[in-house]
Amino acid sequence: LPIATHEITSTKRLDIPFEISPINQIIITLCLGTPPQCFPFKLATNQIETFIFSSQNRENGFDVSSSSTYKPSEDKIELNQGNTNLVAVVSEDTLTIPSIDLTLESFTFSLIEQGDLNTDTYMGVLGLGKRFEENEFSIISHLFVMDHIDHLLFSLNYNKATDGARGGYLSFGYHDQIEDNKVYKSCTLVEEDEREPSFDVYIDSIIYNFPNNEGNARSFKRRQPAFFSPGANKIFCPANFFKFLRKRVLRRELGDGGICHVKETSSFEYIVCNGDIFNKKIGELKFVFGKWSVGIDLGELFVHEQDDEYILEIYKLPDSYESKWILGYPFLKRYPVVFDMETYSIKIKK
């Protein structure tokens, strides 16, 4: 079991600051080894393992030969990241979280030996998931076992102090507001294999409200699963909703004046508009979770891309994907989400 070298005596809740990368992913600096080697890690709520690339596999990766406390095992595992297969050796070493001056003497992680990902933003992934049985790979398991936190839950809280704030806190442990139904509302989770539950929830419907209540609201009444991903820099939607959005919302609002059009990449489709979009009245998308809902002004989801082009931060997933939503940065920065692993539930702040 991990042994802490720094006692946290004042609280059983840890607030670890994070930064937002240029492509809107949550990044936390973690250090492995003795002496510590520090790297940017991306967060993954749907992944159990914490992994990092080795220096033999990737330039500037973790150099095990420079760590006096590194301990490899004989176990190797395969990790699937999108369309990429990674081969890793199960390893053990010290883990330091420099922002809160906390060190775990023994932390289990996966060291990538084969495979790579096309990203320079992070060097490893911090897995926040957890099976029902004990799982040494999860950071939350280590923190709970060593009595640093009082509950197996964590929340994502973006800094809203100023417009354009590029950070926030990953908070482990209980806080009073979570149990206040006036602040947080529970979502209905999708049934999964009990041995490896996911935190997928149901979006029961999505309602488009016209600006200033002009016209009848348009509803997309198809119950579909969704999961909250701090690693996703967009909101990703199934093909059937993208069609609804393009035809029944934007076309109705904008007509055929050439303001917006659809672009395609090898993986996604998305909507691009010119600056005239901000001279139009655009309504609100309301995400319905059971008997309650949260809304996002559709106009706030347009971000500048280049020249006179503005991209709507709702991308269509490839047809090969299952009919599921991925609620990433544009959603999470507006609504703090609590992942509770003891009651196996998710709560969203209204």
Judged by DSSP in three states, 331 sits in: helix
Identify the band that residue 134 occupies on the pLDDT scale cut at 50, 70 and 90: low
- Using the predicted structure, report yes or no on whether residue 65 has a pLDDT greater than 90: yes
The whole-number pLDDT of residue 254 equals 59
Q: Tokens standing for 293?
A: 């809902």
Residue 324 φ/ψ, nearest 5 degrees: -140, 145
Report, as an integer, the average pLDDT of 286-297. Answer: 91
Q: Answer yes or no: are the C-beta atoms of 18 and 102 closer than 8 Å.
A: no
For the entire predicted model, the pTM comes to 0.84
How sure is the predictor about 256, in pLDDT bands with cuts at 50, 70 and 90?
low
Report which DSSP code applies to 3. -
- Specify the pLDDT at position 180: 67
CA distance 56 to 330: 36
